[in-house]
Structure 1
Amino acid sequence: MTVIYIARHGQDEDNVRGILNGHRNLPLTDLGRQQAQQLARRIRDRELVFDVVYASPLDRALETAAIVATELGLAEPIVHDDLIERNFGIMTGRPAADVEEMCAPDIIKTENVTYFLNPDGAETFPELLARGQWVLDSMACRHPDQTVLLVCHGDIGKMIYAAATNMPWRRVLTDFYFGNTDIVGPVRD
């Protein structure tokens, strides 16, 4: 059985400014790099061992994964295009504070995040959930009986988790906050 852990990237420049990044490709901040090193230490402290590390093609996730892999003495991360963050459509580059005004009533509010459900051009959560299942299926085929770390983003990370645990996607959005360099798992496929 493939064992999968999912980690979110470190803080990037959009996170600092409260901007919805989606496919925007800005680098990690200095704090984001420190968070990636702290993630590696938490992994080591939990005595987790990974056979392989995958990352989204976006710099914030790829750099986080590279720092973690280096700190843990692992091979360079493998880019997996399906780990890219959700396409935010017209919300890309907008302040997070605009979500409710622009997208209500099609939102889900939590303590930390207000999720928009279907603005123009955005990938829907059911579509993202299907992509998350595809990622799990590809990991199971490529890495049977191995432990895999996926370094990605908030929305796709939550939908991979939903697919792996068979939990409804709406519940996963409200059950936990997936902050910068948080790690969830193990999830099994």
Structure 2
Amino acid sequence: MQLIKKPFVFARHAQSADNAAGKIGGSTDSPLSNLGVLQAKAARPYLDRPWSAIYTSDLMRTIQTAELASPRHTLTQMTELRERHWGVFEGQPIMDDMNYFETPPEGEPWSDFLERTVNAVNTILLTHEAPLIIAHSGIYRALQHVISGSPYGPRIGNADPVLITPNTNTSHGWDIIPFKGQLL
């Protein structure tokens, strides 16, 4: 499974009510917290620019983030960009030692989630040059897995955009760098 070699910007949604409570949100629809509203507005200098397209999941926290961070633009919602369904773990405290490869009871297998994520992003990249995708930390981990071979590593910050761009000079063929409003 590979990503189409085109640049795009990815941002995790701003802080949700579940994030603020230290709970696994997964595919549960959780609105932004008060801090999340401020985070999304603070991202506006970087994200309110002319994009070829802006895609979000169909969950409220990504839509609210996009509407606040890039208010003049039309959004396209994709169910396929939803966070992983964590089954019985949804609404439970976030665990420090999450095993992404283990299927949670009544949840979505990692392999299915990974395939869904890559197919969704490739669908976007087939039709748009340098789009903005606002989704979830799990989507980012799936992209990281495809790019570097592992979903593990630091969690992407809320409303903290990164530029994901092909780079043939790196061992895995991609760069993931903080996005400060300028495409390379």
- For the criterion TM > 0.5, the same-fold answer is yes
CA deviations 1:40-61 (Å, max 9, x no partner) are: 22446xxx75221110100001
- The residue number in structure 2 matching 1:51 is 52
Q: Is residue 2:63 matched to residue 1:62?
A: yes
Q: State how 1:34-183 maps to structure 2 within 5 Å.
A: 34-43=38-47, 49-70=50-71, 73=72, 75-96=73-94, 99=95, 109=97, 114-116=98-100, 117-143=102-128, 146-163=129-146, 165=147, 167-168=148-149, 171-174=150-153, 176-183=154-161
- The residue number in structure 2 matching 1:184 is 162
Distance in 2 separating the partners of 1:185 and 1:126: 25
% identity of equivalent residues? 23
**SS of 1:150 mapped into structure 2:** strand
Structure 1 unmatched runs, 5+: 101-108
Q: Deviation at 1:183? A: 1.6
**SS of 1:5 mapped into structure 2:** strand
Amino acid in structure 2 at the alignment position of 1:156: I
Paired residues in the alignment total 162
| 8 Å CA contact retained: 2:47, 2:70 | no
TM-score (norm 2): 0.78
Structure 2 unmatched runs, 5+: 167-173, 175-184
TM-score (norm 1): 0.76
Cα RMSD, aligned residues only: 2.2
Amino acid in structure 1 at the alignment position of 2:58: P
CA deviations 1:107-137 (Å, max 9, x no partner) are: xx3xxxx345322122232222211210122
